[in-house]
Amino acid sequence: MPFACTVAGSDSGGGAGIQADLKTFAALGVWGCSAVTAVTAQNTKGVAGSWTLSPAAVRAQMDAVIDDFPIAAWKTGMLANAAIIGAVAETLPRDAPLVLDPVMVSTSGHALLEEGAVADLVEVLVPRAAVVTPNLREAEILSGITPLADTRAMVAAAEAIAALGAQSVVVKGGHLEGKAVDVFVQDGEPLYLVGERLPFDVHGSGCSFAAAIVAFLARGLDTGAAVREAKEFIGAALAGAAVSGSGVRMAHPGAWQERRPSGPPCGAKRQV
């Protein structure tokens, strides 16, 4: 069994963060290790509180994982502040691919990254990333291009983020009107990942998508194939979403195996 590690915040509701990452790894046959950066009190209604761990605590968790497990791929999610970003960059091995999910703000609007830490993220982690997976707002912040109102602007933003040193970028377009299209740029070549447009929002979709890329990389796929498979995976996880007590849907990694025999829910195209 391949091994992967996620460095991110804990979601007490289980729909996002570390919990979503580990569920995704397990669904895809990958042993998941983790380093918790922050503990949040949250559910699908919002974030009630957040407590950040020390950089030393994050580094110690990563060191413990590295000491005992052959980690084939890494993911970072909520990193909270510049000090943790620095600790992660110093501890992260250079011989395994990194998927960087630049978590900045929760869906409910709660800040998950200190404003001044964006520059540190760009300087020390983006150049280490095999894939960066921003949503539209995160892509605007990282690229400086706004607004991202169509796929042409998304391609420009992905290219700008790649120019910061990332090997590839997926700008997620789930909040655009019309088709559910993500833009994947690698080596200057855009690929449009087209998914089913669902009539509801789903909590934890970004975490699960990035974690799926990590899992497929750990299983030996190249980056392009890992991204395409992850798009198919998240399509199933969204369509088969679980529902919280308040009625909010949450990405359900287990739906992958339930839906896979019926065929892929998305496709990849060179143009839309």
Strand order across the 3-11 sheet: 46-52, 31-43, 3-11, 71-76, 98-100, 131-132, 168-171, 180-186, 189-195, 266-269
pLDDT of residue 264: 40
| Contact present, 83 and 114 (Cβ < 8 Å) | no
Picking from 197, 191, 170, 173, the residue whose alpha carbon sits closest to that of residue 102 is 170
- Within the chain, which residues score under 70 in pLDDT? 106-110, 259-272
Picking from 138, 145, 146, 90, the residue whose alpha carbon sits closest to that of residue 118 is 138
Rounded Cα distance between 265 and 247, Å, is 24
pLDDT of residue 261: 46
Tell whether pTM > 0.75: yes
Number of domains present in the structure of the chain: 1
The helix (H) or strand (E) run that includes residue 36 is: strand 31-43
DSSP string, 140-204: HHHH------SHHHHHHHHHHHHTTT-SEEEEB-TTSSSSEEEEEEETTEEEEEEE---SS-EET
**What is the DSSP-derived secondary structure letter of residue 65?**
H
pLDDT of residue 208: 96
Rounded Cα distance between 134 and 43, Å, is 22
Rounded Cα distance between 5 and 36, Å, is 11
For the stretch 10-37, pLDDT in tens is 999 999 999 999 999 999 999 999 999 9
pLDDT of residue 178: 73
Going by DSSP bridges, is the β-strand pair 3-11/189-195 parallel, antiparallel, or unpaired? unpaired
Structural domain including 241 reads: 3-269
Measured from the Cβ of residue 198, the count of other Cβ atoms closer than 10 Å reads: 16
**Alpha carbon distance, N-terminus to C-terminus of the chain:** 37
CATH of the domain at 148: 3.40.1190.20
Picking from 241, 169, 271, 256, the residue whose alpha carbon sits closest to that of residue 16 is 241
pLDDT of residue 107: 62
Rounded Cα distance between 115 and 77, Å, is 16
The helix (H) or strand (E) run that includes residue 100 is: strand 98-100
Rounded Cα distance between 232 and 236, Å, is 7
Rounded Cα distance between 76 and 212, Å, is 13
- Residue pointed to by tokens 């391609």: 155
